[in-house]
Amino acid sequence: MPESTNRDTVLEARGLRKTYTQGKVEVEALRGIDLVVARGEFTVLAGPSGSGKTTLLNLIGALDRPSGGELRVGGHDLSRMRAAALARFRRTDVGFVFQAYNLLPVLSALENAELVLELQGRSRAECHDRAAAMLRAVGLGDLMARRPSELSGGQQQRVAVARAIAASPKLVLADEPTANLDSRTGEALLDRMAELNRDHGVTFLFSSHDPKVIERALRVVYLVDGRVSEDRSAA
C-alpha cells in the first residue's frame, strides 16, 4: 500500500471500492484501489475499457460515492462529506475536462471559462482577468469571443482545459482528453497541458488508453478489472 508521507499529497485512496447493481447482479467496478498522488504530478490512469478508469475519476471528483474504502482529496475526507459540502468541493478543489467538452453553446469561450469563478462568487473583474489569462495560456487569446460552434474540436477542448484550471484547483481530472481529437490536435493539447504542469504546477490526473497520452505521462497507473496492476514512473 502506498504511504502518504508527503505533506503535499493531493489525493489518497486506500482500499477504494465501487459496486454497481444491475438488475439482480452486483458488478464490482473497483476492487480495492490504493493510490497516492502528490502535488504537481502528471499522471495517467491506463487500461482497457471496463478497467475502472472513469469510475475512479468520478469518485475522485465527487461525481459518485464509493461503496467502501477511504478517499481523501485536497485534505477532504469525501466519504464523510454531505451533499452541500461535496458541491463546494467540486467548485473549489477539482477541475474537470470531459470527453464531450460540456461547454455552454450560447456563451463565448471567455464566458465558459469564467463559469466556475462566477459560481465561487468572485468579482466580475477577477473572473474576467483570470479566465482570459487561462485562455491565453492554452493558446486561445485571439478566440475568446467565439462561441463553441465557431471553434474546432481541439479549440473547444482547450476552452474546457482553461475552464478547469481557472479557479486554481488542487487537482485537474481529464477523462480521455484526446479521444475525440485527431492525432495532431491531440498532441497540441498534450503540449499545452504539459506546459501548464511544468510552468504553473497544475496537477493532472488523466484516464486514457491513447498511447500518445501514456507516453507523455510522468507516471502511469495501470488498471485491470478494477485493480491497480502496475504503477510506474518515467525514467
Q: How many CB atoms lie within 10 A of CB 220?
A: 20
Please determine, for residue 18, whether its predicted confidence score (pLDDT) is greater than 90: yes
Please determine, for residue 3, whether its predicted confidence score (pLDDT) is greater than 70: no
Please determine, for residue 226, whether its predicted confidence score (pLDDT) is greater than 90: yes
- Going by pLDDT thresholds of 50, 70 and 90, the confidence category of residue 143 is very high
pLDDT in tens, 29-55: 999 999 999 999 999 999 988 899 999
Three-point CA angle 149, 150, 154, nearest 5°:
85
Please determine, for residue 6, whether its predicted confidence score (pLDDT) is greater than 60: no
Q: Angle, nearest 10°, between helix axes 109-119 and 153-166?
A: 20
- Over residues 3-16, the mean pLDDT reads 77
Q: How many CB atoms lie within 10 A of CB 85?
A: 13
State the Cα–Cα distance between residues 158 and 155, nearest whole angstrom: 5
Note the pTM of the prediction, 2 decimals: 0.86
DSSP state of 142: T
Please determine, for residue 93, whether its predicted confidence score (pLDDT) is greater than 70: yes
Please determine, for residue 196, whether its predicted confidence score (pLDDT) is greater than 60: yes
C-alpha cell at 71: 478517499
State the Cα–Cα distance between residues 221 and 207, nearest whole angstrom: 9
Q: How many CB atoms lie within 10 A of CB 186?
A: 21
pLDDT in tens, 157-191: 889 989 988 888 889 999 988 887 888 888 888 88
- Taking all residues of the chain, what is their mean pLDDT, rounded to a whole number? 89
Say if CB 17 and CB 30 are below 8 A apart.
Answer: yes
- Going by pLDDT thresholds of 50, 70 and 90, the confidence category of residue 11 is very high
DSSP state of 168: -
Three-point CA angle 49, 52, 57, nearest 5°:
115
In what helix (H) or strand (E) does residue 173 lie, and over which residues does it extend? Answer: strand 171-175
In what helix (H) or strand (E) does residue 157 lie, and over which residues does it extend? Answer: helix 153-166
